[in-house]
Amino acid sequence: MEKYEKLEKVGEGTYGKVYKAKEKATGQLVALKKTRLEMDEEGIPPTALREVSLLQMLSQSLYIVRLLSVEHVDKAMNKPLLYLVFEYLDTDLKKFIDSHRKGPNPTPLPPSLVQSFLFQLCKGVAHCHSHGVLHRDLKPQNLLLDQQKGILKIADLGLGRAFTVPLKSYTHEIVTLWYRAPEVLLGSTHYSTGVDMWSVGCIFAEMVRRQALFPGDSEFQQLLNIFRLLGTPSEEQWPGVTSLRDWHVYPRWEPQNLARAVPSLGPEGVDLLLKMLKYNPAERISAKAALDHPYFDSLDKSQF
Amino acid sequence: MATNFWTSSHYKQLLDQEDVDMVNPLDKEKGITLEDFKLIKIHMANYISKLAQNVKVRQRVVATAVTYMRRVYTRKSLTEYDPRLVAPTCLYLASKAEESTVQARLLVFYIKKLYSDDKYRFEIKDILEMEMKILEALNYYLVVFHPYRSLSQLLQDAGLNDINMTQVTWGLVNDTYKMDLILVHPPHLIALACIYIASVQREKDTTVWFEELRVDMNVVKNISMEILDFYEGNRMITEDRISAALNKLGFRS
């Protein structure tokens, strides 16, 4: 680890601290993510092994933050650590949206940028899904941006795969519920790629609105927020919903016009958003299919 | 573990034959020739299979373990990475990566049972230490694609999926791990080479089927030749030759 000079702590990831650092030899900026290795009499835990190697495999994609190397630190007195060394990107989508909302002259995100970011996000998600990996915690904070080049990359991936999505991170910071799919909130145990697509939909809407679509502060509140906008789901719409573990009797809200929640978005964008926010996970659009949606017709795809 | 070979790290890691056949300078100094190098790797692949039969893991785990072992020796020397420890550790690591973990103490038990020789004696802590070294040598790339999956799909497609052809080709694929083919060729081409050999042997006419596949038949035929050459040469491998090769390394004696 002497190869790197830690510059500052840039975040508390769900699974460990993240530092901005510089590789001494090259001056290249990197993000260091510390992961404790809970070694026991059976060496490196299989979960950690699988996670690191999945990450190693997935980070070959342009739309996934690149894992540059893995450093193993084993000091006699302390627990062994793995440092994951990632490429460093200067900002994330949350900060970027914030900068367009707050500050001296707030302006909407240019529609072509929203389109480009969403396309790259779908590319990255499609890549994960084609490898059988769910992200399960997609949110603006986990989407890193290279502002100059207009590039978006998915981060904080793979390390969550073996666990259930935690409510609290190890630092007891509350994990946000805003992007969580209704089937997860309702206690479904057999969820699939649709959970990520729900999050993608919420992020899409948030880029357009510059504020979260469903900002709930408890699981119950979160569900009510969703139901109030999209209507309370019915068995016809979503077979099996009323037998999910955490289903209760809810007020029967009628669906609102989604276009009004994203007033600056054109009809094709609204159509894609609706397909991402389908209640029935089986009907939700896949990342791969989303890439071919007419909303992206006006995008110059040759640049990707 | 993963589903898409072409976007995988395995695909991007395919090597040239010359790189695989490079004897590490440290080993060369000890008089290890390319022949010795190959012999030792065959011996270690056999050792992994034997151990695997005892601890009862699937063939897939064996295949992954042998691939790890072969990858390690494209980067590290036999001198610094004692193959007698690397082989069981690769099996240990592969069992974790393929989600059928084998306990280290069980491995140690069967190593002792298989080899009374002191040079094979290792303790749990040796395996755990070597595990970390192997992980680093592999640069944490643990996903490996094997010919087995394409084999059954291809046999079905060719209408050759009777029990006999399945067994013959499956056996051929198992034997390819005694060579470095998995480091050099995409798995589906290895599967095709095995089908090619089996169909010639069993006098099944597959010419049209092979023609309709859009693959480079020259590569398939070259792989087939390599497998046949291996069988030819395999008869000459004796315990003595293996011991002689291992003795050149002169570990702990």
- B178 to chain A, minimum CA–CA distance in Å? 25
Q: Domain B147-234: give its CATH architecture.
A: Orthogonal Bundle (1.10)
> What is the H or E stretch that residue B142 is in?
none
> Quick one: A181 and A281 in the same domain?
yes
Is the ipTM, as predicted for this complex, more than 0.90?
no
Residue B96 near residue A49, CB atoms below 8 Å: yes
User: How many CA atoms, within 13 angstroms, populate the side-chain half-sphere of residue B55?
Assistant: 29
The CATH number of the domain holding residue A197 is: 1.10.510.10
CB contact under 8 A, A49 and B97: yes
Is A33 annotated as a binding-site member?
yes
- B35 to chain A, minimum CA–CA distance in Å? 33
- Expressed as residue numbers, the domain containing A181 is 91-298
The reply to whether A274 falls in a domain is yes
The reply to whether A303 falls in a domain is no
* Each residue's pLDDT expressed in tens, for chain A with a length of 304 residues: 889 999 998 877 655 678 999 999 999 999 998 877 766 678 887 877 877 888 888 888 899 999 998 888 877 667 778 888 999 998 999 999 999 999 788 999 999 999 999 999 999 999 988 877 888 889 999 999 999 999 999 988 754 443 344 444 444 445 689 999 999 999 887 778 999 999 999 999 999 999 999 999 999 999 999 999 999 999 999 999 999 999 999 999 999 999 999 999 999 999 999 999 999 999 999 999 999 999 999 999 888 8
Q: Domain B5-143: give its CATH architecture.
A: Orthogonal Bundle (1.10)
- Name the nearest CA neighbour of A85 among A174, A3, A202, A195: A3
- Name the nearest CA neighbour of A87 among A8, A33, A7, A158: A33
> Quick one: A72 and A109 in the same domain?
no
The reply to whether A284 falls in a domain is yes
Final residue of a structural domain among A44, A62, A87? A87
Chain A, nearest residue to B127 by Cα: A43
CB contact under 8 A, A130 and B3: yes
Per-residue pLDDT reduced to its tens digit, B212-243 = 998 899 999 999 999 999 999 888 888 899 99
- Cβ of residue A37 closer than 8 Å to a chain B Cβ: no
The reply to whether A304 falls in a domain is no
Pure H helices in chain B: 9-12, 17-20, 25-29, 34-55, 59-75, 83-97, 104-114, 124-137, 147-157, 163-176, 181-184, 187-201, 207-212, 217-234, 239-249
Contact residues, chain B to chain A, C-beta under 8 Å: 1-4, 7-9, 12, 92-93, 96-97, 99, 101, 103-104, 124, 127-128, 131-132, 135-136, 139-143
- B221 to chain A, minimum CA–CA distance in Å? 31
B-proximal residues of A, 131-150, CB under 8 Å: 131-132
CB contact under 8 A, A70 and B97: no
> Does A217 participate in catalysis according to the annotation?
no
- Cβ of residue A70 closer than 8 Å to a chain B Cβ: yes
Cα(A170)–Cα(A13) distance, integer angstroms? 9
DSSP B214: -
User: Which chain A residues contact residue B103 at CB under 8 A?
Assistant: 42
> Quick one: A100 and A82 in the same domain?
no
- Euclidean distance between the first and the last CA atom of chain B, given in angstroms as a whole number: 40
The CATH number of the domain holding residue A16 is: 3.30.200.20
Catalytic-role residue among A92, A137, A156, A196: A137
Final residue of a structural domain among A52, A71, A87? A87
For residue A23, with 0-12 CB atoms within 10 Å meaning exposed, 13-18 middle and 19 or more buried, which class applies? middle
Chain B, nearest residue to A52 by Cα: B140
> Quick one: A193 and A228 in the same domain?
yes
A282-A286-A289-A291 Cα dihedral, nearest 10 degrees: 150
Chain A, nearest residue to B101 by Cα: A46
Domain-wise residue ranges, chain B: 5-143, 147-234
